[in-house]
Amino acid sequence: MAECAINRWAKGKFKGYSAGSHPRGEIHPLTLELLNELNFETAGLRSKSWDEFARPNSPRLDFVFTVCDQVAGEVCPVWPGQPITAHWGSADPAAFEGTIDEKRRFFQKIYREIETRIKLFTSLPFESLDSFALQHRMREIGRIKPSEDSDN
């Protein structure tokens, strides 16, 4: 979800990648359903390990956001190039228990959290912020939660 959202809202300023500490090998069907409903191109998406992006020959990362609440306690790889990092914790929608409609609503809620943060991030005045200020702003964005009663 984050990869699609950043690639949409960054409008070419950034190239987003999504990866996890324990990839499942496939994208959750409700993630694909939601992304398709939101008119994202999903054909090239795949489940990836964050280890792919910690190798010396991996794409250069300027920013790294961890989004799953479970990741906050894990030791992240050492990222080549020392990108600016922040934790933007959200619940793992795949772990949510409920009816199929409740699960769909929960996936939408998590997508809105991620999208709200990404919109705020991509609207930052990057040219006028040093790395310390960027780090501070990224951490502030991670504390923002969209309104529970807003519907998309």
Query: Which CATH number belongs to the domain containing residue 129 in this structure?
Result: 3.40.50.2300
Cα-based torsion angle of the residue sequence 23, 27, 28, 33 in order, rounded to the nearest 10 degrees: 160
The count of structural domains within the chain is 1
The distance of Cα 150 from the centroid of its chain, to the nearest Å, equals 20
Give residue 54's domain range.
2-142
Q: Is residue 150 part of a domain?
A: no
pLDDT of residue 81: 80
Q: Is residue 124 part of a domain?
A: yes
Q: Is residue 147 part of a domain?
A: no
> What DSSP character marks residue 89?
E
pLDDT tens per residue across all 152 residues of the chain: 999 999 999 998 989 999 888 888 899 999 999 999 999 999 989 999 888 888 888 888 899 998 876 555 566 677 778 899 888 888 889 889 999 999 999 999 999 999 999 999 999 999 999 999 999 999 999 988 765 544 44
Q: Is residue 149 part of a domain?
A: no
pLDDT of residue 151: 46
Q: Is residue 148 part of a domain?
A: no
Q: Is residue 151 part of a domain?
A: no
pLDDT of residue 152: 43
**Which residue in 99, 100, 74 sits closest to 87, CA to CA?**
74
Whole-angstrom distance, CA of residue 147 vs CA of residue 133:
26
**Helices then strands, each counted (H, E), the chain:** 4, 2
